Structure 1
Amino acid sequence: MNKPAPVPIERPVSQLRLVAIPRLAAGGRWRVEAMRSLSEPCLLWFTKGQGRITISGVTRGYTAHNAIFIPAGVMHGFEAGPQVFGTAVFFGRDPKVTLPKAPLHLRIREVHAQQEVNVLLDSILRELESDTPANDRAAEAYVGLLGVWLERQAKKAEPESARPDATRRLVARYTALLERNFRTGMGVADFAAALGVTPTHLTRCCNIACGRPAIALLQDRRIFEARKLLTETKLPVARIAEQLGFNSPAYFTRAFQHLTGKSPTAFRRLP
């Protein structure tokens, strides 16, 4: 029988902020590549380099001048190698701007549109770092224009494909269900049953959509959360294991070490 989901630990999230993408990866690849979700919307604007990004269980390539919007609560992870540059915009939990409801992956080919978003991001950053009167309202005004830019680019973007096929729709449903329930101790068989498919079919669809089996997405999401709790809290290892639905601290330690190469205690001691 599955354990009831514990109440997740809520941490304060800063309001609007801009972060250079290389800085996001400075703490280790797990901070950007492992499956996770945010409690706030995020925009990734890549200006150099290329890689792959997985959103809702579907993997696509990205290159320079790609704008990727990820709503709050959507599971994702992306590669950010040493040659990748750009800016991540975190809008805060209660953004005062109209933003898309669904993920967007926009390939911005018009030079004017590329320059426009660069100017908007520079203006937002300048106001955030300023101590001049009304700088906060000025930053909000530029963010509003950023929302308009996103809406306009989304409307004229070339669709990458027709409506998602049955495989990708199933994987999107799986990742959404996983995001809500990864702390409960549910396994792939439990998720497959909840979705009305077999574990084999679910795994086959995940492999098609993102090149990874269903169990890998589940393990990645749980271990990312474990690393975050080890890094950002002082919770005992046993309590973290319980929070994430592991049957025992020993099983959690084995799973964590298998995927990271370090025990939870050793990982927590890293600088």
Structure 2
Amino acid sequence: MSNSRAAAIPTFFLYGDEQQDVDLDALHVEPIRERSMRHDWTIHPHVHPDHTQILWFSDGGATFTIEGKTYEAAPNCFVVQPAGMVHDIRFHPGTEGRVITAAVSFVDAVAKDDPRLIEATRLPGAYPVETSAGRDAIRHAMEQLLFETNTLDPGRRMALRSHFLSVLVWLMRVSAGQAGAGPAHRGKDYDLVNRYRAVLERHFHTEKTLAFYADKLCISPQRLNAACKARAGRTASEVLYDRIIVEAKRCLLYTEMTVAEIGHAIGYDDPAYFNRFFSQRVGCPPGTFRKDAATTRRVGS
């Protein structure tokens, strides 16, 4: 796909919702009908630069086109739409099921002990679940995820991680070795951005220059920028800064570290500079974000 075409394709966190002001470190679960019915059961070509979608069909079905390859979904079927892949969907009217939209960083955090779970979310496909035990387990995990995303009960975050992990395990099992479910053409840009994100996870606490990451990937900074613009919709530096902000938000929401300690932990020894960096990208200082988070935060890892 050419860069000019990619630039014209809408990018969303959730289809039809503007991406701005959405926490990149998020897990969202909703019924398929909730969004698709509003759009007359047709989802036009778009891309989620930082989020993977996993759909479970309990009734009805859909035709997916992901990077030019067609996939058919039927009842008791998983569909995976990897982050950064252009896709459109034509649902059968009345289709029922669940849609998980998960940030790549959340998937990586939950699945980090088993690379097979991560790989299952990086390849597009439609995977029928043949066994009743598998179907029952997936339905239960999906319903619990939907319940937990709409409650503030104690232990919510760990429950979400547990049920999401169950979904990933079943997805890995049913996708492994299925004939005819081979990947769509991902392209060099897609693979390069995934490699960049993997290097980011290991080094973003200490390394803040694009030259460092380009050197690790054995490419030029210009090539890395071009790939990120084509597949993530923003520059490589912006991808790095977004990941740093996600980590800062996690610490603000889920630890008792001071703002200065958080800045130091993610590589900013000057508290004033960290405050400016955070404020420019979030719209408020870290302390204000922490105070307001009780009513505005989304699910982090």
Asked if 1:102 is matched to 2:119, the reply is yes
Asked if 1:256 is matched to 2:269, the reply is no
Residues of 2 paired with 1:258 and 1:108: CA distance?
Answer: 41
Give the equivalent residue in structure 2 for 1:218: 240
TM-score, length-normalised on structure 2? 0.53
Offset at 1:109? 7.8
- Residue 48 of structure 2 aligns to a residue in which SS? strand
Residues of 2 paired with 1:243 and 1:182: CA distance?
Answer: 11
Distance 1:86 1:116, change over 3 A: farther
Asked if 1:265 is matched to 2:287, the reply is yes
Distance 1:62 1:88, change over 3 A: closer
- How do 1:1-271 residues align onto structure 2 when only pairs under 5 Å count? 29-30=22-23, 33-34=24-25, 47-48=32-33, 49=35, 52-54=47-49, 65=57, 67-68=79-80, 86=99, 100=117, 102-104=119-121, 105-108=123-126, 119-123=136-140, 147=169, 150-154=172-176, 155-162=178-185, 164-270=186-292, 271=294
Deviation string 1:134-163 (CA, Å, 9 cap, x unpaired) is: xxxxxx9xx98984664334514533424x
TM-score, length-normalised on structure 1? 0.58
Query: Do 2:111 and 2:118's aligned partners in 1 also have CA atoms closer than 8 Å?
Result: no
Distance 1:161 1:46, change over 3 A: farther
- Residue 235 of structure 1 aligns to a residue in which SS? coil
For 1:108, the aligned partner's letter is A
Residues of 2 paired with 1:94 and 1:195: CA distance?
Answer: 21
Question: Gapped runs of 5+ residues in structure 1?
Answer: 1-20, 22-27, 37-41, 77-83, 130-139
When the two chains are superposed, the root-mean-square deviation of aligned CA atoms in Å is 4.8
Distance 1:62 1:103, change over 3 A: closer
Distance 1:68 1:116, change over 3 A: farther
Distance 1:116 1:106, change over 3 A: farther
Residues of 1 paired with 2:182 and 2:31: CA distance?
Answer: 19
Query: Do 1:185 and 1:244's aligned partners in 2 also have CA atoms closer than 8 Å?
Result: no
Offset at 1:230? 0.6
Give the equivalent residue in structure 1 for 2:40: none
Distance 1:209 1:126, change over 3 A: closer
Query: Do 2:205 and 2:267's aligned partners in 1 also have CA atoms closer than 8 Å?
Result: yes
Offset at 1:61? 7.7
Greater Cα offset, 248-257 or 116-125:
116-125
Deviation string 1:60-95 (CA, Å, 9 cap, x unpaired) is: 88777554499xxxx99xxxxxxx953589996798
- Residue 206 of structure 2 aligns to a residue in which SS? coil
Residues of 1 paired with 2:167 and 2:232: CA distance?
Answer: 33
Distance 1:244 1:145, change over 3 A: closer
- Residue 119 of structure 2 aligns to a residue in which SS? coil
Question: Gapped runs of 5+ residues in structure 2?
Answer: 1-13, 15-20, 36-42, 58-77, 85-96, 148-161, 295-301
Distance 1:157 1:101, change over 3 A: farther
- Residue 246 of structure 1 aligns to a residue in which SS? coil
Residues of 2 paired with 1:93 and 1:61: CA distance?
Answer: 15
For 2:32, the aligned partner's letter is T
- Residue 108 of structure 1 aligns to a residue in which SS? strand
For 2:217, the aligned partner's letter is L
Residues of 2 paired with 1:211 and 1:239: CA distance?
Answer: 32
For 2:190, the aligned partner's letter is R
